Chain A
Amino acid sequence: MNHHGPLVRVPSRAASERAVGFGGILLVVKRFSSIFTVSLYLAAVGCFLVLTRRIRVNPAKLVREAGYALLRVFSQPLSAELNALTHEVGHCWKAPVGRRLISDRDGQSRLRLLEDGRELPHPHSAHDLISTLGAGRYLHWGDAVFFSSSDNTDPSANGRRYTVREI
């Protein structure tokens, strides 16, 4: 069993970017034509998968999302106090946000959580890190904020005020 195929050759982007002159232009054209071709192919496959319902999309949801996006252009940024805190697990607590915003589930949340007016340090944290490590980690997911207090005390009883602000 001595026959072995060639090892994969690792493309060197740095080298291609350093290349100058006609060869460099050719490399750039080649790269972008490759990206364009794959994009076109993926778009065609995507349409096929959606139209044949192999991938289910909810048109109503898409229209609703577009509506929300339009509304956000005209609405004031959210600034509100968190109420109705409920304990989730470990250091993690949950509170409803009260308005439909883009959360970390859908994109990247613009919501910031403040403890007595001071911004908590770790937005977009993973749920299990909030519950195990806490220390001010939080996540905006769907219509709720999952969060921990800065010192892992019970936010419903530590006497501090928790507010959210859309940036």
Chain B
Amino acid sequence: MSPEPRSALLNVLACPACKESLSGRGEKLICPIGPHEFPILRGIPRFVQSDNYVGSFSFEWNIHKTTQLDPFRTDDWSEDTLRKKTGLKPEDLRGKLVLDAGIGAGRFSEVMARWGARVVGVDLSYAVEAAQENLGHLETVLVAQADIAHLPFKPETFDVIVSIGVLHHTPDTRKYFQALVPYVRHGGIVAIWVYPVEPDFVTRTQWIPFTSRIPDRMFYEWCRWFVPLAGRHPNNLLIRGIRTVFPFSRQGLGLENDILDTFDGYSPRFHGIHTPEEVAGWFKDAGLVDVHNPGPWNTAMRGVRP
């Protein structure tokens, strides 16, 4: 793990309130105008005091630090997902400054850094600890703990902003999307994917008010017991009946991933679902152009800031 975040990328950081560049002093970043200072703990600049409403993500990503990272999986699942959900290719990102809004354990930042991008990854949750452990050794990646609603950057900082599977876990998907847009430069790309209005997601939405109240540790223990059991008896009538009412993960990408994905699907406090038209509408309302769905995921959307 890197003791200090990368100095070149540190210059990108600004006070979330004043939008002034921060100066480093010891283990702190200090705002030159206001009385604001931000600690750097374990190499990660912190712009929030806690993980607020995303405790379940703090929990899951610090258990499944490497479950979805390509180098540990030894496949290209995350790379393939990034391509399909954003339409981005290595040549689009080489040398570019990219914001990964909701970095999690760093699965997509790892791919983008591999493609030659300089990546700043933020997350409200303590998933940043996992991301730092996975990516802290890379010169071209900076991880920070911050809230998308109060990002620690100056406007028009990034060439590309990517947020895959994150914004629907905020209190207001549209509002948080709009909060991202000012940070992309003119001519830059914004690409997101949010949960669609599809049967499994609709069903899960009904469960969320109940399952998100189960203590994370208890629900995780349950997922660790149930998902392998269901996987061993996929054709059992009872298991199939349960799956109709409680769609658990069965992605064919390994048991650990299915356990993680089931926990991930039912534990968050917020779980928005959206139509492609709705998502395209947000992009147009934000003044983005060339708005289109870049691949097979119908709520994946991409646009350019004119």
Q: Which residues of A contact B (CB under 8 A)?
A: 1-5, 7-8, 10-11, 13, 31, 34-35, 37-39, 41-42, 45-46, 49-50, 54-55, 57, 62, 65-66, 69, 102, 106-108, 110, 124, 126, 128
Within 8 Å CB of B49, what residues of A?
A: 1, 3-5
Check A8 against B221 for contact (C-beta < 8 Å).
no
Within 8 Å CB of A54, what residues of B?
A: 206
Within 8 Å CB of A66, what residues of B?
A: 237
Please tell me if B246 contacts chain A, counting CB pairs below 8 Å. Answer: yes
Flag the segment in B38-46, B87-95, B155-163, B274-282 that touches A: B38-46
The 10 A-B pairs with the shortest beta carbon distances in the complex, nearest first, are: A108-B234, A107-B235, A38-B222, A107-B234, A5-B50, A45-B210, A54-B206, A8-B58, A34-B218, A35-B225
CB-CB contacts below 8 Å: B187-242 with A: 203, 206-207, 210-211, 214, 217-222, 224-226, 234-237, 239-242
Q: Please give the distance in Å from A158's CB to the nearest CB on chain B.
A: 28
Alpha-carbon distance between A126 and B240 when the two chains are bound, in angstroms: 20
Q: Which residues of B contact A (CB under 8 A)?
A: 36-39, 41, 46-51, 55, 58-59, 62-63, 126, 129, 203, 206-207, 210-211, 214, 217-222, 224-226, 234-237, 239-242, 244-246, 252, 296
Cβ contact of B237, chosen from A55, A69, A110, A126, cutoff 8 A: A69
Within 8 Å CB of A110, what residues of B?
A: 235
Alpha-carbon distance between A126 and B126 when the two chains are bound, in angstroms: 33
Alpha-carbon distance between A46 and B39 when the two chains are bound, in angstroms: 44
Check B252 against A4 for contact (C-beta < 8 Å).
no
Q: Please give the distance in Å from A106's CB to the nearest CB on chain B.
A: 6
13 interchain pairs, CB-CB under 8 A: A1-B36, A1-B48, A7-B62, A7-B126, A8-B59, A8-B126, A11-B217, A42-B222, A45-B211, A46-B246, A57-B245, A106-B235, A107-B235
Cβ contact of A35, chosen from B50, B211, B222, B239, cutoff 8 A: B222
Within 8 Å CB of A13, what residues of B?
A: 224
Within 8 Å CB of B220, what residues of A?
A: 11
- Nearest residue (CB) in B for A61 is B244
- Nearest residue (CB) in B for A70 is B237
Check B234 against A37 for contact (C-beta < 8 Å).
no
Cβ contact of A55, chosen from B55, B129, B203, cutoff 8 A: B203
Given contacts A1-B39, A11-B217, A35-B221, 11 further A-B contacts (CB under 8 A): A2-B39, A4-B39, A5-B50, A8-B55, A10-B62, A38-B222, A42-B246, A65-B241, A66-B237, A102-B235, A107-B234
Alpha-carbon distance between A15 and B60 when the two chains are bound, in angstroms: 18
Check A49 against B245 for contact (C-beta < 8 Å).
yes
Given contacts A5-B51, A8-B59, A124-B252, contact A106 B240 (CB under 8 A): yes
Alpha-carbon distance between A37 and B46 when the two chains are bound, in angstroms: 37
Cβ contact of A65, chosen from B41, B237, B296, cutoff 8 A: B237
Check B246 against A38 for contact (C-beta < 8 Å).
no
Check B245 against A10 for contact (C-beta < 8 Å).
no
Q: Please give the distance in Å from B219's CB to the nearest CB on chain A.
A: 6
Q: Please give the distance in Å from A116's CB to the nearest CB on chain B.
A: 27
- Nearest residue (CB) in B for A32 is B225
Within 8 Å CB of A1, what residues of B?
A: 36-39, 46-49
Alpha-carbon distance between A37 and B220 when the two chains are bound, in angstroms: 13
Within 8 Å CB of A3, what residues of B?
A: 49
Check B214 against A126 for contact (C-beta < 8 Å).
no
Q: Please give the distance in Å from B54's CB to the nearest CB on chain A.
A: 11
Cβ contact of B63, chosen from A5, A10, A106, cutoff 8 A: A10
